[in-house]
């Protein structure tokens, strides 16, 4: 397992052990020894399946309920999107984007303080590992359409909940 730091403090690209042969592909996305110092403990994991063109997000948790996430694409192809909301960060307001393909052996750790979203370039299945449990009363979000840097995504399906999210400049400070 290898870790690549990005220009966003704490946002890390993870290269897993991956082996491919005539039988198929084998990937180890979670090694306690490899992830414990970078990610910490895991409180929950969930899978999401999306059709091509789906955008999920941008979501985050407030205050002490803020979550660190570790995202891995199991099948298909997604764009992982993270918006830095940390007020003291030199990358505040900037967007991280990375394409993740199924069983590629690559994942992304998104630290607390980011709004997170996923765009499905094709029908896809992902797993999200979170360091804290989801707290419905402490969630927030940002409407992806308010971010010019995401205008190139061919989004065709968004939930009613995500359509109603506030736009980036309209968020309370």
Residue 97 belongs to domain with CATH number: 2.60.120.10
- The pairing of beta strand 12-15 with beta strand 44-50: unpaired
Closest CA to 161 of 137, 141, 132: 141
Does a structural domain hold residue 91? yes
User: Is the preceding omega at residue 58 within 30 degrees of 0, hence cis?
Assistant: yes
Does a structural domain hold residue 11? yes
User: pLDDT tier at 172 (50, 70, 90 boundaries)?
Assistant: very low
The mean per-residue pLDDT over the stretch 26-31 comes to 76
Does a structural domain hold residue 64? yes
Does a structural domain hold residue 111? yes
pTM score of the predicted model: 0.91
* pLDDT at position 171 over 70: no
Does a structural domain hold residue 28? yes
Cα–Cα distance for residue pair 33/38, rounded to 1 Å: 10
User: pLDDT tier at 27 (50, 70, 90 boundaries)?
Assistant: confident
Could you tell me the residue range of the domain that residue 128 belongs to? 2-163
Does a structural domain hold residue 171? no
User: pLDDT tier at 173 (50, 70, 90 boundaries)?
Assistant: very low
Does a structural domain hold residue 60? yes
Does a structural domain hold residue 172? no
């Amino acid at each position: 397992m290898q870790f690549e730091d990005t220009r966003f403090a704490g946002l890390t690209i993870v290269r897993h052990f991956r082996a491919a042969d005539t039988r198929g592909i084998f990937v180890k996305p979670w090694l306690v020894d490899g992830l414990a110092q970078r990610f910490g403990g895991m409180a929950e994991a969930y899978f999401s399946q999306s059709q091509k063109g789906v955008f999920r997000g941008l979501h985050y948790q407030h205050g002490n309920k803020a979550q660190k996430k570790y995202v891995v694409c199991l099948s298909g192809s997604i764009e992982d999107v993270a918006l830095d909301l940390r007020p003291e960060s030199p990358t505040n307001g900037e967007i991280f984007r990375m394409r993740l393909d199924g069983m590629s052996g690559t994942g992304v750790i998104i630290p607390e303080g980011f709004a997170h979203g996923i765009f499905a370039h094709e029908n896809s299945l992902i797993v999200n590992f979170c360091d804290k449990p989801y707290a419905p009363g402490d969630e927030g979000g940002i409407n992806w359409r308010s971010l010019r840097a995401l205008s190139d995504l061919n989004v065709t399906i968004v939930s009613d909940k995500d359509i109603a999210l506030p736009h980036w400049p309209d968020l309370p400070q």
